[in-house]
Chains A and B, each alone.
Chain A
Amino acid sequence: MGAISSILTIARWEVGRSLAAMSRNVLPVSGVLLLALVLVSGFAAQGGVHLQDGIYRAGVDDPEHYAILAADGRFDVDLAGGDVLLRQRESYDLVVVAGEVLSRDTEKGRAALQALERDYDRYAASVYMQQEDLFAAYPLWVEREYVESELSFPATAGGRIPGASSGRERDPAPEWAVVEVPAPPPTLGFTEAELRSELARGATADDSFERYTQVLSRDRTLEGCTIPALVSPSLPFDTIVLVFVFIFPLYFVSQFCMMSVMNERVERKGEVLLSAPLRPSQIVAGKLLPYLLAMILVSLALILALGAPLSVLLPLLPVMLLFLASALLIGMLSRSFKELSFVSIFFSTIATAYIFFPTVFAHVHAISLISPLTLVVLGLQGEGFGPADYFYATALFYLTGAALLYVGVANFHEERLFGQSGFLSRAREFVDSSLSRERPLASLLLLNILLIPFVFMVQMMELVLFFNLPMPLSLLLLILCAAFTEEVAKSIGLYTLFRREGCGTPVNTLLLACIATALGFLAGEKLLLFAMLAQITHSIFGSILFSSLQVLWWPLLLHLTATGIVAIALKFTGTRGYIPGILLATAVHSLYNLRLIAGWIG
């Protein structure tokens, strides 16, 4: 009870302090800014965004064609006689003479031609829209029916393109039970007025602003029924925009948390707290609690405003945890405000990318599930997710968040908070105080187990990044980067230990440290893999990352050799040998993986 009440006291204190400062200085201005934002976005939604104005030059000889081009801001159009235009063809990207379009054969000319094509389609549509006889102007209507695929991940995880019939000779026939599908009625189920308003909507839907506001308001009149020209991809990107709506408030709140931690160090108010009879874990919990509550409240408000199911909040929780844990650490590590800015922007960009990239592949590849936000997308589309999906998508976030919190709490004391060394050496000090002095080997083992979720996160990100590149290149890059990431992670503990004692570190201590590192890494790898990554190990990409699943002796030997290389480099050349040592270890590791892919081992 005592622990909880002191946590609450600190939380109240934190709220009172930050709220007092906020309301005095910032709240009035933010009210004005919010109003300005609403006004400006209304203005921008009306006029559109002018970013590509006048990038093409076109010459036209017919006023009617001139009107088509002049309606598009991207064109800078001249109206002149046909012979004049033909003479000056070189100074235009596009020339329209007597209804014939001539474009320059450059990148820019081709792009201008594409722009004109879309403009012409829009113009033709506006003419057809005026017609008395709607079904003479638009004789063909397409109704889209979406069916849910019964084969989801296993088919696509293997890298197969589903439905593509390349190489298949037999006609496709269903293997499972066929459900009777009634022939759709040949008539449209809508009145002419409804169809006309759908067309009018389609004419303006090109504007990107409009599209997003429509997703947000879910104002779709004729679900699925449209004319061929409007059969455009149903953008999965629209839901992804919503993802940003959820992430940005979290990012802002964590900024305030970071700043509160930093301010305590700058103004030395934290010293008072530290001298109180409280454990660091209580102080940290009390400080973070209000921010966590703020994040939950903001997310709840967003969920209610969007009318999304409440379960969407669940996948956001680990994201909040990770954001807060890293805010705590960044606030504790930074020496100056500019360092805080750079590191926090860097972290949030990486984190946002990690969360964002995989959601692009929602529904397409199992990989998309490594981001908790994919679950949010699924939830928003009303599909829901099971506990297995939840575990798979959030486990890494929970683990890394918890590990970062532990490091933060272990270092929440005066010496670390008010020290003034450089960022990297401070980071090393943080790792150093997380390593026990009495049992260095046991904590080295533990450290490497704890590092696994971070390594996996980085490797997952590399996997998603390289996924789009052509095949041999993506494999090679992935092998190199995955190996490098692992080697850097394994060397962290070793390097910290070495820095404690310098070049005088006895050889057998280093050897034991290598063994502890290799064992810890292997154990962590196995634990996580068996628990959750079975899905990805089916694909060829998975087999590179997690190749060590099959045999135990080979990977142990590999980890030992690689850390051994770094240890030897450190022992004989000191800290100068650290980077070359890691590079050499990476090379060895990559070669091993290449051999493994080629099937020479195991």
Chain B
Amino acid sequence: MNGNHVWIIVRKELRGLYSEKTIILAIFLQLFVAMFSAFLMVGLTAMYDPAAISRFSTAEYGVGYAGSDSALLEYLEESPDFRVYRMDLSEAVASLKERKVSAVLYVPDTPPQSDDPVKVTLYLIQNDLQTAVIETKLRDVLVKFEDDLRAARADRLDTRPAELHLPPARPGGGFFEFVYGLLVPLLVFLPAIVASALVIDLITEEFQYRTLETLVSTPISFREIVAGKILACELLVPLQGGAWLLLLSANGIPVLHVPEILLHASAASLILILLAAIAALHYRERSDAQFVFSAALVVVLLLVLALPGNPLAILARLAVGAAGAEHWLSLAVLLLCSGALAAIVHHRTRSG
């Protein structure tokens, strides 16, 4: 294999990408996915951690309370999130339907020490984003009430869980796992997926446009052509991934160990690109190759995610600075896999 020849192909493909300007669309697309994730992030945190959106809304929710008095009523009155109204059950539910209150609680007169459970009935508006917020806020009050009842019945318990004193929760931290455990690996790996789809297009178009004969009649061999195409796609990965990490740190999300992350992403994407190249060389037809490759990609990604210590998890650990020297081992495994795949590509391009 002649390095110069490979380089000529790399330059040709990169020039082609640049002149078509469609690479701009790919970058747009990734920006869009990031925006999409940010949207989901706000939505999801709003659901699981209402404290996070209380920055946006300091609303006090009206709650109708019916039935007998209990410690629950006091806890609700103490809570800054709720304004409690003692109401008749029927009227309370009617008000709920008109959205004058946002939830109704009915408490029966079961005594705390009773052998029977205390059953609280909670009336809510069906399937509403706001209902989700209220359920989460009510949960804390209900858990407090449960603790009281459990203490009253403590003598009937055989064992108790080991005590653990947690400091009071401080705001923040809700986005951490999302950003480092999902967004960073996703953004770094997206270029790899784009690049592997690209390599299929680059290889199959030579077959389908029948330009291969022309290319092979030059001093450049078939193997060098394929190698050049693979290299061109591979070069795009650290470039794009690096740009993402820069953008993240500009947005106040510092990412540690950037060079190692890019190394991992490049090695892992080399595997995907080689797999895609094998599919393209086998089918020589774009829609078949793309279909089989994207189906295989789903299988491979799912399998990889289910394995402990997978490259994506290592990426997350590198980004937060929690990875030890074992990531070099993982890198070696990735390189070994790509070596094996490269041998297959080498074998398949033998005839020319």
Contacts and interface: CB of A to CB of B under 8 A. Distances in A.
A163 B61 contact: yes
Contact of B138 (A96, A141, A231, A363): A231
Contact of A337 (B152, B170, B283, B286): B286
Interface stretch (A22-30, A318-326, A395-403, A569-577): A22-30
A363 B117 contact: no
A501 B78 CA distance: 75
Contact of A55 (B21, B173, B305, B316): B316
Given A30-B292, A342-B25, A99 B164 contact: yes
Given A29-B292, A146-B124, A363-B129, A180 B98 contact: no
A44 interface: yes
Interface string B12-49: 00001100111101101100110110010011100110
B123 interface: yes
B303 interface: yes
A177 B91 CA distance: 9
A150 interface: yes
A108 interface: yes
A172 B85 contact: yes
Contacts of A187: 116, 119
B121 to A, nearest CB: 4
Contacts, number: 429
B208 interface: yes
Contact of B128 (A108, A149, A424): A149
B135 A233 contact: yes
Contacts of B202: 337-338
B91 A342 contact: no
Contact of B125 (A109, A146, A184, A227): A146
B20 A422 contact: yes
Interface stretch (A129-137, A386-394, A485-493): A129-137
Interface in A98-124: 99-103, 105, 107-117, 120, 123-124
A252 to B, nearest CB: 8
A166 B60 contact: yes
Interface in A339-392: 339-343, 345-346, 349-350, 353, 357, 360-364, 381
Interface residues of A, number: 146
Interface in A490-515: none
Contacts of A113: 166-167, 169-170, 173
Contact of A33 (B120, B286, B296): B296
Given A50-B305, A143-B121, A148-B97, A234 B164 contact: no
Contacts of B20: 335-336, 338-339, 422-423
B149 A149 contact: no
A55 B320 contact: yes
B132 A53 contact: no
B238 to A, nearest CB: 20
Contacts of B316: 51-53, 55
Contacts of B197: 341, 345
A68 B164 contact: yes
Contact of B174 (A56, A114, A148, A345): A114
Given A131-B159, A163-B103, A337-B286, 10 more contacts: A62-B162, A130-B159, A131-B157, A136-B156, A143-B119, A145-B123, A236-B127, A236-B129, A338-B17, A422-B21
16 contacts: A54-B317, A54-B322, A114-B174, A135-B115, A146-B124, A147-B124, A162-B99, A163-B61, A166-B58, A183-B67, A183-B108, A184-B108, A335-B20, A340-B201, A422-B21, A468-B42
